[in-house]
């Protein structure tokens, strides 16, 4: 097992301690201990099947929904164990939001997609609700494109706009941590660039953890990078250091395309 490698002077937002996950008894994560720094972007990279999505899902208990998934170890959100049975799951998923590879807007208007959460969680109505919706759409860099057609269906937007709508929907409930699982892999280069700029901007205010197969993207947008193989953390460090001076031969091979 690798030790937790926290970067000094950077507060930890969420951390895993000796986290293992198995599906039908087959290990997908083995003893992962990682501390994700607050208000920074962390990229998770590694070959297909190495456990990146499993790790991301463990951070807001999405694996709970997968039958035959078994977990040991702990996940601490600001020091609090999210697997404690007293934890309120609705509140946890609000605090630790997630967007997926394929944008999944609800089949309702752009406005409703974003308004639903704050209305449900905070009982917002009228002007206050409108303000929260506008603010979330602005933060997601979508407002200017949709402000005149908020009643249009979210499904009528382009793929890149739909992804930003999903990000706005997540931001509207005031999360602390944003989990993104290959958020650009279904997008064209221009939408990808917009999402990358957005992630960089969000990283100033939120703890962002993003899974990507695009190594140039990881290098561009993240402050820290974790490299996984076969369910284990091979290397973790500041992104620049990991890409320019990797400590492990496996990392060097992977970032130079000599693996898989």
Bridge partners of 34, per DSSP, are: 16
Residue 130 or 214: the one with the smaller Cβ distance to ligand ATP is: 214
Residue 53 or 161: the one with the smaller Cβ distance to Mg ion is: 53
Residue range at the interface with ligand ATP (CB under 6 A); choices 48-56, 134-142, 146-154, 192-200: 48-56
Q: Which residue has the tokens 């919706």?
A: 133
d(CA 221, CA 199): 7
CA atoms within 13 A on the CB side of 63: 25
The least distance separating ligand ATP from the CB of residue 37, rounded to whole angstroms, comes to: 21
Q: Which two tokens stand for residue 21?
A: 């996950």
Please tell me whether residue 191 binds Mg ion under the rule CB under 5 A. no
Residue 23 or 83: the one with the smaller Cβ distance to ligand ATP is: 23
Residue range at the interface with Mg ion (CB under 5 A); choices 30-38, 49-57, 214-222, 228-236: 49-57
Quick one: which of 69, 80, 71, 1 has its CA closest to 33? 1
CA 21 to chain centre: 18
Please tell me whether residue 225 binds ligand ATP under the rule CB under 6 A. no
d(CA 234, CA 227): 6
Please tell me whether residue 54 binds ligand ATP under the rule CB under 6 A. yes
DSSP secondary structure code for residue 154 in this structure: G
DSSP secondary structure code for residue 63 in this structure: G
Residues near 155 by Cβ (< 8 Å), separated by ≥ 6?
105, 107, 162
Binding-site residue total for Mg ion (CB under 5 A)? 1
Q: Which two tokens stand for residue 109?
A: 């208007």
Among 51, 73, 154, 183, interactor with ligand ATP by CB under 6 A: 51
Please tell me whether residue 202 binds ligand ATP under the rule CB under 6 A. no
Query: Which among ligand ATP, Mg ion, none contacts residue 139 (Cβ within 5 to 8 A by kind)?
Result: none
Q: Are 113 and 52 in contact (CB under 8 A)?
A: no
Query: Which among Mg ion, ligand ATP, none contacts residue 48 (Cβ within 5 to 8 A by kind)?
Result: ligand ATP
Among 14, 32, 45, 50, interactor with ligand ATP by CB under 6 A: 50
Please tell me whether residue 53 binds Mg ion under the rule CB under 5 A. yes
d(CA 182, CA 174): 22
Please tell me whether residue 109 binds Mg ion under the rule CB under 5 A. no
Please tell me whether residue 49 binds ligand ATP under the rule CB under 6 A. yes
The least distance separating ligand ATP from the CB of residue 21, rounded to whole angstroms, comes to: 8
The three-state secondary structure class of 7 is coil
Please tell me whether residue 30 binds ligand ATP under the rule CB under 6 A. no
Residues that bind Mg ion (CB under 5 A): 53
Residues that bind ligand ATP (CB under 6 A): 23, 28, 46, 48-54, 66
């Amino acid at each position: 097992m690798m030790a937790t490698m926290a970067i000094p002077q950077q507060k930890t937002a969420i951390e895993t301690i000796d986290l293992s996950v198995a599906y039908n008894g087959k290990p997908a994560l083995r003893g992962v201990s990682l501390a994700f720094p607050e208000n920074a972007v962390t990229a998770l990279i590694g070959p297909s099947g190495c456990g990146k999505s499993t790790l991301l899902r463990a951070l807001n208990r999405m694996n709970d929904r997968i039958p035959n998934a078994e977990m040991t170890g702990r996940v601490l959100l600001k020091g609090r164990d999210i697997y404690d049975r007293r934890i309120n799951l609705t509140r946890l998923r609000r605090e630790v939001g997630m967007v997926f590879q394929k944008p999944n807007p609800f089949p309702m208007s752009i406005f409703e997609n974003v308004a639903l959460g704050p209305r449900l969680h905070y009982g917002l109505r009228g002007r206050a609700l409108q303000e929260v919706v506008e603010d979330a759409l602005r933060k997601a860099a979508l407002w200017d494109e949709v402000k005149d057609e908020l009643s249009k269906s979210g499904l009528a937007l382009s793929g890149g706009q739909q992804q930003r709508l999903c990000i706005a929907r997540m931001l509207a409930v005031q999360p602390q941590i944003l989990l993104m699982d290959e958020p650009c892999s279904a997008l064209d280069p221009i939408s990808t660039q917009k999402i990358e700029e957005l992630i960089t901007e969000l990283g100033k205010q939120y703890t962002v953890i993003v899974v990507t197969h695009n190594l140039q993207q990881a290098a561009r947008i993240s402050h820290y990078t974790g490299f996984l193989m076969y369910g284990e953390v091979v290397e973790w460090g500041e992104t620049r250091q990991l890409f320019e001076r990797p400590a492990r031969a496996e990392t060097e091979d992977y970032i130079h395309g000599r693996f898989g």
